[in-house]
Structure 1
Amino acid sequence: MATGDEMIKVVGERYCVPYTLELVVKKKLQSFSNSHYDVFDTTGNILLRVDGSVWNLQRRRVMTDPAGFPVITLREKGTGKLQQPISWKQEWQIHEGENLDSNNFLFRVKKSSGFHFKSNLDVFLGSRCKKGAGDFRVTGCISSLSIKVRRGNSVIAEVIHSYTWESYKGKESFKIKVYPEVDYAFIVALLVITHENENI
């Protein structure tokens, strides 16, 4: 469980609530090169959307609010021109809105090791050096149906992959439990990155 009542705001304070929040994320493959994520609360209200191409030279996704305004942009580092073959050293940079200034981002996500079967992503806030332990860590993997987001030894969010026959058709569903005062837009971004890394 999350530690104390300290607010963990990464994308923005408006995405932190003082109670445990349960979300449903529905992912749909719209075409061979495009997929879409919708994020709902338990009453069916849409809270966030994430769009973007799966296969292109600019591997990036844009998260928007229900009105369509950009919240953050998720971009895989090193893409945009001819990129080197996909390797285990995947790294994503997350920018506020649609700003893609390479020196200005909210956080970055890097795969911990190429020799783990699980995802094990390290998350670094801001532009600080990527040496040592990250500020957060994602453990587990989508294929094992469960991932956890940790800050130190504390779990701040959990994701369950609801795998069904529809998954073979490109329709997938996830349930997220976000602990109190934890930025749920940040957690959704980590889910999307984990899923993207596992489905290259």
Structure 2
Amino acid sequence: MFKPEVTQFVPKISVVGDDFCFPYLVDLSVKKKIGFSNTKIDVVDDNGTLLLQVKGSLWQFKKKRVMCDSISSPLLNMRLKEISWRQRWTVHRGEGSEESNLLYTVEQSQSFLFKTQLSVFLASNLTGEICDFRVVGSYISQSFKVYKGDTLIAEVKQRFKLGSLGGEKFEARVYPGVDYAFIVSLLVILNEIDA
């Protein structure tokens, strides 16, 4: 059985919760399936164990995605707040959208032909001018990197497979101590923006 190398004294970067932070490198496979009326994303570890699921309807006026744990308990929901040239998403704990459950917002800060950049503001920093996290990605390759300041904390790459109509696959590498549910939520939002 695979035993990850534990990194000692790793500071936690917990956004969704401490349960999603491990003191070792976490590699995840993310599979998106698009049906006639809905979209579903499964997140599994190297052993094929289901960790997270994300569900949403394709026909909603305002986009909403709900992330659940492996037993389908809602962890958080992601909602498109503003439809404009630069999109803004809010992420709340659970299924509701009460202000007291707001965890963070994600704003499209730059949008060019081949690159995109998102700024993530934690609920405690909504009026701040400096974001808490940055997501720098590429439209073409559907890959991105997540930074806290100048420190790289996660990388996501799309895996291309011929004949995979109605679905996409991604590989996510989450660095030690980083909340993998938070990284998956950023993948979901970036994928929705790029759609």
User: 2:91 corresponds to which residue?
Assistant: 94
User: Residues of 2 paired with 1:121 and 1:66: CA distance?
Assistant: 28
TM-score by length of 1: 0.87
Of 27, 35, 38, which residue of structure 1 is paired with 2:39? 35
The offset of 1:128, in angstroms, is: 2.7
The question of whether the paired residues in 2 share the 8 Å contact of 1:141 and 1:194 is answered with no
Q: Which residue of 1 aligns with 2:166?
A: 170
Return the alpha-carbon distance in structure 1 between the equivalents of residues 186 and 170 of structure 2: 13
- TM-score scaled by length of structure 2: 0.89
Matched, 1:26 2:31: yes
1:57 and 2:57 aligned:
no
Matching residue of 1:184:
180
| CA offset digits 1:87-107 (Å, max 9, x no partner) | 222000000011211464001
Show the counterpart of 1:134. Answer: 131
Spell out structure 1 runs of 4+ moving beyond 4 A.
none
The secondary structure found in structure 2 opposite 1:144 is: coil
Tell me the distance in 1 between the aligned counterparts of 2:174 and 2:73: 23
Q: Say if 2:155 is the partner of 1:158.
A: yes
State the Cα distance separating 1:127 from its structure 2 match. 4.8
Greater share of strand residues, 1 or 2? Answer: 2
Partner of 2:109: 112
Partner SS for 1:7: coil
Residues matched between the structures, number: 187
Counterpart of 1:194 in structure 2: which amino acid?
L
Q: Does 1:11 align with 2:8?
A: no
Q: Identity of counterpart residues, as a percentage?
A: 45
Find the partner of 1:149 among 146, 150, 153.
146
| Pairwise CA distance, 1:161 | 0.2
Secondary structure at the residue paired with 2:47?
coil
Name the residue aligned to 1:73. Answer: 77
Q: Which has the higher contact order (CA 8 A, sep 6+)?
A: 1
Q: Structure 1 counterpart of 2:107, which letter?
A: K
Structure 2 counterpart SS, 1:143: coil
- Runs of 5+ unmatched residues, structure 2: 1-8
